[in-house]
Amino acid sequence: MAALKIAPSILSADFARLGEEVRAIDAAGCDYIHIDVMDGHFVPNLSFGPVVIKAIRAHTKKPFDVHLMIDPAAPYLAEFAAAGADIITVHSEADKHLHRCLQVIRGLGKKAGVSINPGTPVSALEPVIDDVDLILVMSVNPGFGGQQYIPSQTDKIRAVKALIGKRPIELEVDGGVKPDNVKMIVDAGADTVVAGSAVFNGTDYVKTIQALRTAAQ
């Protein structure tokens, strides 16, 4: 099995020192920088947009894993690509034209991801399964960092893994991932885990990222 990828979510970082925080998680051995974009409409919170992504791009060479919690998504995809996104994930529940969004993302030369909320069935992925590079299973309701992992999502991760089968699609899990539940999540089929509060609420990022890797084994 390939090594677990860890994607710290900068939603829980110190925004006043964002460049420094990005350099710190890079040096601590993360695989991706997970970037949560919120619009106050699809989710009940606001975060940041392409200008902030562009500003932190110079601070790391690691892939930018951009999780769009915005509705619509289509009008902004080119801007996120230009700002430095490597993976762009849209929610199946957000834009009316999910398939078109995925086509546009790939057309921009980026990896296309689709995300499903805890209340969305796995079947929502079926029509687009051959049009995605990554599936992001939300294990909390999107909008905020620091929420509790929703246990019913473990069976869903397993079902998504089965749906993926042999396709070269990465399975990422986002929300409430901690050293004490990461093994269960990885055993269910996750290739990549997002960790926001688990990483940034601690003081030693190296230790936390290592603790996640060790716990997953």
Q: By rule CB under 6 A, what string of x and - marks binding of each residue 32-51 to ligand DX5? A: --x-x---------------
Give, as ranges, the residues between 166 and 205 that touch Zn ion (CB under 5 A): 174
Which CB, 103 or 147, lies closer to ligand DX5? 147
CA dist., res. 116 & res. 20, Å (int): 31
36 is known as an active-site residue: yes
- Residue 12's region, left for phi above 0, alpha for psi from -120 to 50, else beta, is alpha
Which CB, 41 or 167, lies closer to ligand DX5? 41
Provide the 10 A C-beta neighbour count for residue 95: 21
Least distance CB 55 / ligand DX5 (angstroms)? 19
Nearest CA to 138 among 215, 43, 29, 1?
Answer: 43
Does 177 sit near ligand DX5 (CB under 6 A)? Answer: yes
- Record the tokens describing residue 20, joined without a space: 């420094």
DSSP 180: T
CA dist., res. 50 & res. 207, Å (int): 30
Q: How far is CA 210 from CA 14, 28, 34, 180, in A?
A: 21, 9, 17, 13
Q: From ligand DX5, Zn ion, none, which one binds at residue 145 (CB under 5 to 8 Å depending on kind)? A: ligand DX5
- Phi (first) and psi of residue 32, to 5 degrees: -130, 165
Binding residue for ligand DX5, selected from 21, 65, 174, 191, defined by CB under 6 A: 174
CB 103 within 8 A of CB 131: yes
Which CB, 12 or 154, lies closer to Zn ion? 12
Q: Which residue in this structure is represented by tokens 């921009």? A: 108
Binding residue for ligand DX5, selected from 9, 60, 92, 192, defined by CB under 6 A: 9
Least distance CB 138 / ligand DX5 (angstroms)? 7
Q: Integer distance in angstroms from the first to the last C-alpha of the chain?
A: 11
Least distance CB 113 / ligand DX5 (angstroms)? 12
The catalytic residue among 31, 36, 95, 191 is 36
Q: How many residues bind ligand DX5 (CB under 6 A)?
A: 21
174 is known as an active-site residue: yes
Residues of the shown chain interacting with ligand DX5 in the complex, contacts defined by CB under 6 A: 9, 11-12, 34, 36, 67, 140, 142-143, 145-147, 174-177, 194-198
* Catalytic residue annotation: 36, 174
Residues of the shown chain interacting with Zn ion in the complex, contacts defined by CB under 5 A: 36, 67, 174
